[in-house]
Amino acid sequence: MAMAYGEWLRDARKKAGLTQQELAVDATMTRSHIAHIEAGRRWPSEDDAKRLDLALNTGNVLSSFLPNRDGRPVGSHFETARQLEQQATMLREFALSYVPGILQTKAYARAVLKVGFPPLSDEERDSAVVTRLERARLLDDPVTPIVWALLDEAVLRRPVGGPDVMAEQLTHLADLVECERIRVHVMPFGIGAHPLLMSMATLMWFEDQPPITYVEGLHTGKVHDSPALVQRFQGTYDLALGDALPLKESLALLRATAKGYGHEGH
């Protein structure tokens, strides 16, 4: 889907006799943004697509065939966001019910994937776990991307996979915090309602592209790159973060909760 759209854009650009840089100037975009669209790694926003149509004299073809015009998920659920995740220089995650994918242990990921519908076969689940662990390899770089995780306290309290799995998972998070690879802030139950209570979200920043936000619900997910909407998501995240526990208190809660699960498991 994204690849086919990108190929169409590339063909239209070449027929117009333009380089990516020339098209970028004409459409008021960056060359790298156009390169990512042509490679199938990203969708243009509706405004971008309209400017591309104008620059390429293609009527309204590029804007009319955007797959997210009617609110449907971009690409195949998470695929576009997964690719963007690997390019990001900063990620800010909000998790409402479970640990974000890039921070999951193998056992925790397996437990999460076990309860989906329709159920996965053992082979499909194993493959999905491998993919999730491969995503986590972006943390192998000690500096980039910068990762912040804002976790609702429900993430800590829900015993996904049982006490032993949770003890390992929360210890993994605490270890990443202590080695200063990530920041984790916990949104305590005592806060009550908060601005991000409706869904999970991932905010992404890039070196040479505009920021985006990925929002996910049950069997759905959508990448948002409208500047006004992304800015609104960023403001909502910052507002929620202001109500969360500080880093040291969050780390202490992770350790204490992991210890509690460890005692329960034994």
The mean predicted confidence, pLDDT, of the chain is: 89
What pLDDT is stored for residue 86 in this prediction?
Answer: 85
Mean pLDDT comparison of 128-142, 218-232, 247-261, highest-scoring range: 247-261
Q: How many CB atoms lie within 10 A of CB 226?
A: 16
Q: Would you say 188 and 245 are in contact if contact means Cβ atoms under 8 Å apart?
A: yes
What pLDDT is stored for residue 64 in this prediction?
Answer: 72
DSSP 248: H
69 pLDDT more than 60: no
Helices (H), 121-246: 122-135, 153-157, 163-178, 227-241
What's the average model confidence in pLDDT over 87-112? Answer: 96
SS3 content of the chain, % helix, strand, coil (to 5): 55, 15, 35
- Band the pLDDT of 68: cuts 50, 70, 90: very low
* CA separation for the pair 205, 62 (Å, rounded): 25
* CA separation for the pair 169, 95 (Å, rounded): 14
Domains along the sequence of the chain with CATH: 2-64 (1.10.260.40), 79-265 (3.30.870)
What pLDDT is stored for residue 262 in this prediction?
Answer: 95
Q: Would you say 169 and 100 are in contact if contact means Cβ atoms under 8 Å apart?
A: no
DSSP for 68-117, written as a single string: TTTSPPSSSTTHHHHHHHTT-SEEEEEESSS--GGG--HHHHHHHHHT-S
What pLDDT is stored for residue 1 in this prediction?
Answer: 52
98 pLDDT more than 90: yes
What's the average model confidence in pLDDT over 74-101? Answer: 84
Q: What's the half-sphere exposure (Cβ side, CA atoms, 13 Å) at 220?
A: 9
Q: Which two tokens stand for residue 1?
A: 């889907």
Flag the least confident range among 18-22, 65-69, 152-156: 65-69
- Band the pLDDT of 44: cuts 50, 70, 90: confident
Phi, psi of 81 (to 5 degrees): -65, -40
The residue with greater pLDDT, 5 or 216, is 216
Residues with Cβ within 8 Å of 233's Cβ and at least 6 positions away in sequence, in order, are 201, 203, 213, 215, 224
What's the average model confidence in pLDDT over 38-59? Answer: 85
Rounded-to-10 torsion of CA 125, 109, 76, 149: 180
What pLDDT is stored for residue 222 in this prediction?
Answer: 87
What's the average model confidence in pLDDT over 36-49? Answer: 81
Flag the least confident range among 6-10, 79-83, 87-91: 79-83
Q: Per residue in 231-266, pLDDT tens?
A: 999 999 999 999 999 999 999 999 999 999 999 877
Element (DSSP H or E) covering residue 223: strand 220-224
pTM value? 0.73
List the beta bridge partners of residue 183.
148
What's the average model confidence in pLDDT over 172-179? Answer: 98
